[in-house]
Amino acid sequence: MQSWRRRKSLWLALSASWLLLVLLGGFSLLRLALPPRPRPGAPQGWPRWLDAELLQSFSQAGELPEDAASPQAPHGGSCNWGACFDTSKCRGDGLKVFVYPASGPISETHHRILASIEGSRFHTFSPAGACLLLLLSLDAQTGECSSMPLQWNRGRNHLVLRLHPAPCPKTFQLGQAMVAEASPTVDSFRPGFDVALPFLPEAHPLRGGAPGQLQQHSPQPGIALLALEEERGGWRTADTGSSACPWDARCEQDSGPGQTQRGETLPNATFCLISGHRPEAASRFLQALQAGCIPVLLSPRWELPFSEVIDWTKAAIVADERLPLQVLAALQEMSPARVLALRQQTQFLWDAYFSSVEKVIHTTLEVIQDRIFGTSAHPSLLWNSPPGALLALSTFSTSPQDFPFYHLQQGSRPEGRFSALIWVGPPGQPPLKLIQAVAGSQHCAQILVLWSNERPLPSSWPETAMPLTVIDGHRKVSDRFFPYSTIRTDAILSLDARSSLSTSEVDFAFVVWQSFPERMVGFLTSSHFWDEAHGGWGYTAERTNEFSMVLTTAAFYHRYRPPPCPGIRGSEDQRPPPRTEQGSLDPRNPGSRPRSATSQLWDPGLTSLEFVFSSVKWDGFTSQGWCEH
Amino acid sequence: MSCASGPGGGLRHPLRCREPWDEECEKEAVCVIMCASVKYNIRGPALIPRMKTKHRIYYITLFSIVLLGLIATGMFQFWPHSIESSNDWNVEKRSVRDVPVVRLPADSPIPERGDLSCRMHTCFDVYRCGFNPKNKIKVYIYALKKYVDDFGVPVSNTISREYNELLTAISDSDYYTDDINRACLFVPSIDVLNQNTLRIKETAQALAQLSRWDRGTNHLLFNMLPGGPPDYNTALDVPRDRALLAGGGFSTWTYRQGYDVSIPVYSPLSAEVDLPEKGPGPRRYFLISSQVGLHPEYREDLEALQVKHGESVLVLDKCTNLSEGGLSIRKRCHKHQVFDYPQVLQEATFCVVLRGARLGQAILSDVLQAGCVPVVIADSYILPFSEVLDWKRASVVVPEEKMSDVYSILQSIPQRQIEEMQRQARWFWEAYFQSIKAIALATLQIINDRIYPYAAISYEEWNDPPAVKWGSVSNPLFLPLIPPQSQGFTAIVLTYDRVESLFRVITEVSKVPSLSKLLVVWNNQNKNPPEDSLWPKIRVPLKVVRTAENKLSNRFFPYDEIETEAVLAIDDDIIMLTSDELQFGYEVWREFPDRLVGYPGRLHLWDHEMNKWKYESEWTNEVSMVLTGAAFYHKYFNYLYTYKMPGDIKNWVDAHMNCEDIAMNFLVANVTGKAVIKVTPRKKFKCPECTAIDGLSLDQTHMVERSECINKFASVFGTMPLKVVEHRADPVLYKDDFPEKLKSFPNIGSL
């Protein structure tokens, strides 16, 4: 019995040992059979093959039979720029646009759009000389649909412009025509061929247009982080403190206290969330842009407006709606620098390309012109930084250094030379003293005398080391602004023969201009003011505390000026009354205009300044003078 | 998995389990062991009754065996190194010929053809990327296998040198993960770089049997040479369902915008030939064509150009009279002249890149490397990385039908632009074409940017050459806005213990109409600020902020209390500025909200004797700094000063208790590239009656210290950002002989 008990304990010990052996051994075996799990932090990568050097290259020299290709015909159905647009017609004068006249009674909108195209520098009345034929298809109100025009030619070199999503069925095959359409779906959009337009609300102003809403660079403290677009219209600002996915219907109830703004009010938040599904939401996109609320597009199914040229990553955020947590976290953690940059870009883009129907149309034409120009198109910088491609014309130059706008932006300085252009009107005395004074300037490169009076040209001119050119003018006042090819410098000093300046005054004014090459820098000032009695703008050259103009009888300015183009000038110059000024006319603020005035006159777009520049030290520039009238 | 289908069972090849990183294998192996242990457990008890009658010695033997076994196992446990190192060796250094073979049955499934309507939001499963930290996708690479058909004939070359390099590059990058469950993107190791080296149907079958294939979702294929004779499709012909394709030679018809990635065709010459960078400028030939095997029609057009324009156009072809066959790829001939290729490309300003059978041509890479501007004549070709690269800056695209006009088109480009393009071309090659690694990483970066667009790389980062990136400024306040006057400004007074002077400053500043708030930064930790009742009564809110440490940086801290954009920094001893002067300064700031607008002007000078910068406070004709003892600036610069000041400048300033104003001048000038504006003629900023004020300002040692600051900051910034100007701003009627009461700012003070 005892031995049995002993045996039993022995058995127990034995079996326990067996079990232990099996367990431990099993684990070891397992480790042997299995490779060890990679240690965290050192992932196993792609193996370094011993014979990696011996591997063959993917392409063997001479293997490619490269002489098989013959020019291919474009595939049917789809079009691209090279295949479906004939640029040979545009060779002479660049882009010339013919617009099909309306075939019946047309709406007011239609009429005014026609007028704005006709006012542009691209317009031509002859379909034969045009390289782009434009077909307006926008009669959403009248319900009338355009029919196929005469010179259709399978749509070649045609642009079908649809400002509003057309209710019209496709009455004719588009063929090779380009389509400029509001918010086209990404599936039907042909990149580099079609043009994506913004979705404009019906009431979008045709010209001018309201400026962006942003009054300050950085967001106001305490402004809501998010505004969500409501399906019924309006915006709801959301508190994002607690909610994980404020735009998701499933967790709507957690979205916390929100404020709903109804109607057409603009959102007041840092970010505006816009659904990417419904094309109508695209109009929200513009609203957000105007309000300086950074648009956050959730998986947009439509092409962003003018995406061919506008770098939207600088003004909007396109995010995937399927990753709400990440997107929200990214918005919350976004650096102030990025927010600041995005906000400013929204305003610039709105003001430059979207604030009026006219700007949208001109931008469309500019995009097409850029395609025709190829290498001499606007570089991306010109499209995407102020003042924008509508004002920095690629026909002048494609290099930012040639324009006055980018020196300060890029921290560069314009060249240190100027050309003086002296306009000699009646009575026609040769401005000998003035020539001497200007020629004495160390920055002067050449002097041009524009002889613009009845008297014959004098035969002798004063002896100066400076190259002197005499141009016989046509006795027109605007002659002095003609871009004479003889002018070789960026800076022009425009002078009247009667002006009297000293050399040091010229020198000083020029160094000031170098610091502000995008401005006119002059000696004589004048101002505009709102004349209550006449209900219009008045002009005064009297000495006041502020001024809004300098006279070109003695002023520096940059050689670049956009060629005469009523459309563009109109759109830039004609702004609505300023938002900031209120109340009655302030004697200290002659430039301000009461808001109540309902006259058709627009603010002339001039800003008044209350300061002048003088030399840091009075005697720095000898005989510092102040121009007397 | 059931144990019945354990080792050797089923279709799996025994070799498979050598794969250390294959998950399937892992599961099988686990199963083997588990089955084995279960068997032992079952047999154990059955053995015992039989041994009951045996001899005692038997027990002892058995016991010692068990003991030995235990010891052996224990030793095994403590011998981990040898096992792992041998394993490492296995993983890291093996031959491509030893990779496991996978047999593909003839009837195994084939994926659907590529879906042309695929977009990121329809065909890409972004949820897989939800776990990826730091806005970086994680990429998994399948293990290398050799695929054979039923007859044992290989489906393709196992892997090419370039594809191996590509996978190595991905594996070495931050994108790589070896955890298939955390991966967002999958890269098969099946090499499809060149369609001609593979069997289409079988390759597709191989793709379909990948463990996470799932209709190709989130799979990325790299292909450089698509299509095959006779029609040469512009995308890979292998059916691939939803897989993303990084392809060389896409046309507009096959490229899925925003889904596929257009990549370059790698030129093996990039690695072989070292072409040193050649500066931009006119070169010997204006236009060169060096492609061989051109379509006769194109060659005729090119030769016509050569006839018309003579010397400046060079059309090369392959050499027929050379005896060495191997060398001929590095030689080109024109009549009997022999040229070295690709060196000859460096002799030309423009280089023709014509379509061949395929749209994507490896010569594009050679041309860029040579700093020659490519003239791309290939209608509908999607240029490499066109989603992010601005090819207008580096190339000229000419429609095929305009080939005869190519010369005049190129001649119309201004010389300055050509030089810009030459630089840009070389930069594109260096950054994105140079190596397989560059191509692979750029591709992944593009996909990464699509998934995390808010963290995407900007246009400038993709396109600007390093020299431009370093040299350019990006003004954080670039929008030309004139802030509304109504907003007003916040005055921030930094003070330590000069209470009397402080109260005078507060009283003076509070008279300025546009002041909207006054903030006193109390920098003295040993002394409490005066009682509330003692402070001057002013019409705007007055807040006192107590600081934790006596640091100069405290004056530039972005306090939440600052609600206006304009900030007036003012010392507690600047009592001489009149209300008109301050209001005028604010008006000037509104016109220049991105600049420092201040009263005391200073200058930096280059000291030729000492060969370093010098600080100048004398009454000179120029200014380059304004002191923040009295200056307006945008509150954003407070944020920049506190959080984005380069190097150790901030600590340096706090340690030296000096030069915070110079640091601010450097910072603003550096980010905006603009000069300061000095307002009003005033020069003296010391009140005659405050004699007690530390005689620092004009002290000689003070000047030396300030000069040191300038030199220190210039070295930290790596440049001298300060801009010198010769003008200051005065009120319009300042100098005019005009009744004082009609002037806006009559009391502007004097020198």
Give residue-wise pLDDT tens across range A4-45. Answer: 666 777 778 778 777 776 776 666 565 555 544 444 445 578
Using a CB-CB cut-off of 8 Å, the residues of chain B touching A301 are: 121
Domains in chain A, number: 3
CA angle B45, B49, B53 (to 5 degrees): 150
Task: Looking at the complex, report in whole angstroms how far the Cα of residue A194 sits from the nearest Cα belonging to chain B.
Answer: 13
Residues A442 and A313 in one domain: no
B355 to chain A nearest CA, in Å? 8
Q: Are residues A328 and A437 in the same domain?
A: no
The verdict on residue A587 lying in a domain is no
**Is B49 touching A (CB cutoff 8 A)?**
no
pLDDT in tens, A163-197: 766 555 554 567 788 888 888 888 788 888 899 99
Count Cβ–Cβ pairs < 8 Å, chain A vs chain B.
421
Output the average pLDDT for chain B: 84
d(CA A280, CA A271): 19
Q: Give pLDDT, residue B73.
A: 65
Task: Tell whether the model's pLDDT for residue A249 goes beyond 60.
Answer: no
Alpha carbon distance A314, A307 (integer Å): 12
Locate the domains of chain B by residue range. 99-260, 268-432, 487-684+695-727
Helix (H, G, I), strand (E, B) or coil at B169: helix
pLDDT at residue A69 is higher than 70: no
Q: Residue B325 has what pLDDT?
A: 54
More confident residue, B222 or A30: B222
- Top pLDDT among A46 and A306 is at A306
CA angle A34, A37, A40 (to 5 degrees): 175
DSSP A351: I
User: Which has more confidence, B115 or B676?
Assistant: B676
**Selected residue of B85, B120, B380 to mutate for chain A interface (largest A Cβ count, 10 A):** B380
- The whole-number pLDDT of residue A148 equals 62
Rounded to the nearest angstrom, the minimum Cα separation between B500 and chain A is: 33
Choose between B608 and B83: higher pLDDT.
Answer: B608
Residues of B in contact with A70 (CB under 8 A): 295, 297
- Phi, psi torsion values for A367, nearest 5 degrees: -60, -45
The confidence score (pLDDT) of residue B43 equals 43
**Distance (Å) from the C-alpha of residue A264 to the closest C-alpha of chain B?**
24
Residue A162: φ, ψ to 5°: -125, 100
- Which residues in chain B have Cβ-Cβ distances shorter than 8 Å to A518? none
Q: Give B-chain residues touching A318 at CB under 8 angstroms.
A: 453
Nearest-by-CA chain A residue for B673: A411
Same domain, A440 and A345: no
Instruction: Give the position of tokens 């667009």.
Output: B453
Q: Chain-centre distance of CA B11, in angstroms?
A: 47
* CATH of B268-432 among 3.20.20.140, 3.40.50.970, 1.25.40.10, 3.40.50.2000: 3.40.50.2000
Q: Which of A11, A46, A607 sits opposite B48 (nearest CB)?
A: A11
Q: What is the pLDDT of residue B367?
A: 95
Residue B157 confidence (pLDDT): 85
Percent of chain A with pLDDT over 90: 17
How many other CB atoms are found less than 10 A from the CB of residue B484?
A: 15
Tell me the average pLDDT across B163-178: 94
Q: Flag whether pLDDT at B30 surpasses 70.
A: no
User: Is the CB of B731 less than 8 angstroms away from the CB of A187?
Assistant: no
Site from B93, B252, B341, B435 to mutate, A interface, most A CB atoms within 10 angstroms: B252
Which chain A residues touch B487 with a CB distance below 8 Å?
A: 215-216
Residues A185, A118, single domain; the answer is: yes
Distance from CA of A389 to the nearest CA of B (A): 15
Task: Pick A575 or A109 by higher pLDDT.
Answer: A109
pLDDT of A493: 94
Q: Per the domain annotation, does A567 fall within a domain? A: no
What integer is the mean pLDDT of A263-285? Answer: 78
Query: What does the pLDDT read at residue A330?
Result: 87
Residue A407 lies inside a defined structural domain of this protein: no
- Statement to judge: residues A325 and A435 lie in one domain: no
- Average of pLDDT values for A233-237? 75
Q: Looking at the complex, does the CB of residue B179 fall below 8 Å from at least one CB of chain A? A: yes
Other C-beta atoms within 10 Å of A498: how many? 14
pLDDT score recorded for residue A33: 54
**CB-CB under 8 Å, B733 with A543:** yes
pLDDT of residue A64 exceeding 80: no
Q: Is B481 on the interface with A (CB under 8 A)?
A: yes
Q: B46 to chain A nearest CA, in Å?
A: 12
Contact A313 B458 (CB under 8 A): yes
Residue A254 pLDDT more than 80?
A: no
For chain A, the C-alpha Rg in angstroms (whole number) is: 35
| Spatial CA neighbour of A278 closest among A207, A396, A373, A183 | A183
In a domain, A491, yes or no: yes
φ/ψ (deg, to 5) at A9: -65, -35
Residue to substitute from A46, A157, A185, A399, interface B, most B β-carbons within 10 A? A46
Alpha helices per DSSP H over B151-215: 161-172, 200-208
pLDDT band at A153 (very low <50, low <70, confident <90, very high): confident
pLDDT bucket at B626, cuts 50 / 70 / 90: very high
- A105 burial level (CB within 10 Å; 0-12, 13-18, 19+): exposed
Query: In this complex, is the C-beta atom of B233 within 8 Å of any C-beta atom belonging to chain A?
Result: no
A12: left (phi over 0), alpha (psi -120 to 50) or beta: alpha
Q: How far apart are CA A225 and CA A241, in angstroms?
A: 10
pLDDT band at A443, cuts 50/70/90? very high
Q: What is the pLDDT of residue B280?
A: 85
Mutation target among B176, B435, B479 for the A interface, most CBs of A within 10 A: B479
Q: Residue A108: which domain range?
A: 81-140+151-197
A364 and A161 Cβ atoms separated by less than 8 Å:
yes
Shortest Cα–Cα distance, B507 to chain A (Å): 25
Taking CB atoms and an 8 Å limit, are A326 and B452 in contact across chains? yes
- What fold is seen in the domain B487-684+695-727? Spore Coat Polysaccharide Biosynthesis Protein SpsA; Chain A (3.90.550)
Regarding whether A617 and A469 lie in a shared domain, the answer is: yes
Helix (H) or strand (E) holding B489: strand B489-495
Mean of pLDDT over chain A: 76
B174 CB neighbours in chain A (<8 A) are none
**Which range is least confidently modeled, A140-154, A571-585, B53-67, B674-688?**
A571-585
Among A355, A376, A394, identify where a domain stops.
A355
Predicted confidence at residue B751, as pLDDT, reads 59
State how far the alpha carbon of B278 is from the alpha carbons of B373, B409, B423, B466, in Å: 13, 24, 9, 16
| Interface predicted TM-score (ipTM) | 0.81
Q: What is the pLDDT of residues B450-462, one digit of tens each?
A: 998 888 999 999 9
**Which among A92-96, A448-452, B366-370 has the top mean pLDDT?**
B366-370
The predicted structure's pLDDT at residue B695: 46
Residues of chain A found within 8 Å of residue B196, distances taken between Cβ atoms: 63
Of chain A, the percentage scoring pLDDT greater than 70 comes to 74
Is B619 within 8 Å of A52 when comparing Cβ atoms?
no
- pLDDT band (50, 70, 90) for residue B168: very high
Asked whether residue A387 is assigned to any structural domain, the reply reads no
- With CB atoms and an 8 Å threshold, state whether B33 touches A30: yes
Statement to judge: residues A473 and A617 lie in one domain: yes
Query: Higher model confidence: residue A204 or residue B464?
Result: B464
Closest Cα of chain A to B293: distance in Å?
5
Res A9: pLDDT: 78
Q: Which residue among B392, B414, B480 places its CB closest to the CB of A377?
A: B392
Q: Which residue of A has its CA nearest to B678?
A: A616
Nearest CA to A190 out of B255, B358, B249 is that of B255
Q: What is the pLDDT of residue B432?
A: 96
**Whole-angstrom Cα distance, residue A398 to residue B8?**
71
Residue A67 has pLDDT above 60, yes or no: no
Q: What is residue A2's predicted lDDT score, i.e. its pLDDT?
A: 58
Percent helix, strand, coil in chain B, to 5, is 40, 15, 45
Of all residues in chain A, the one with the smallest CA distance to B72 is A25
Task: Locate the chain A residue with the closest alpha carbon to B38.
Answer: A22
pLDDT computed for residue A474 by the predictor: 76
Q: CA A89, CA B241: separation in Å to the nearest integer?
A: 43
Same structural domain for residues A476 and A513?
Answer: yes
Among partner residues B26, B293, B742, which is closest to A34 by beta-carbon distance?
A: B26
Q: Can you tell me whether residue A536 is helix, strand or coil?
A: strand
Determine whether the interchain pair B736/A626 forms a contact, defined as Cβ–Cβ distance below 8 Å.
yes
Whether B726 sits inside 8 A of A615 (CB atoms) is yes
Q: Summarize the confidence of residues A231-244 as an average pLDDT.
A: 63
The chain A residue lying nearest B180, using CA atoms, is A43
DSSP H helical ranges for A100-227: 108-118
Kindly state the helix (H) or strand (E) to which residue B125 belongs, with its residue range. none
**What pLDDT score was predicted for residue A589?**
35
Q: What's the confidence (pLDDT) of residue B11?
A: 37
Lowest mean pLDDT, pick from A85-94, A258-267, B355-364, B496-505: A258-267
Dihedral sign for Cα A252, A253, A258, A264, please. positive
User: Which two three-digit tokens encode residue A371?
Assistant: 């395609």
Average pLDDT estimate for A259-264:
51
Tokens of A444: 């002067």
Same domain, A470 and A536: yes
CA distance A252 to B40: 59
Residue A63 lies in a domain: no
Query: Which whole-number Å values give the CA distances from B515 to B537, B541, B584, B744, in the listed order?
Result: 14, 10, 12, 17
Judged by CB atoms closer than 8 Å, whether chains meet at A588 and B356 is answered as no
| Domain match, A536 and A451 both | yes
> Residue A365: CA atoms inside 13 Å, Cβ hemisphere, count?
29
The DSSP annotation for B540-585 comes to S-EEEEE-SS--GGGGG---TT--SSEEEEEETT-----HHHHHHH
B602: pLDDT confidence band, cut at 50, 70 and 90? very high
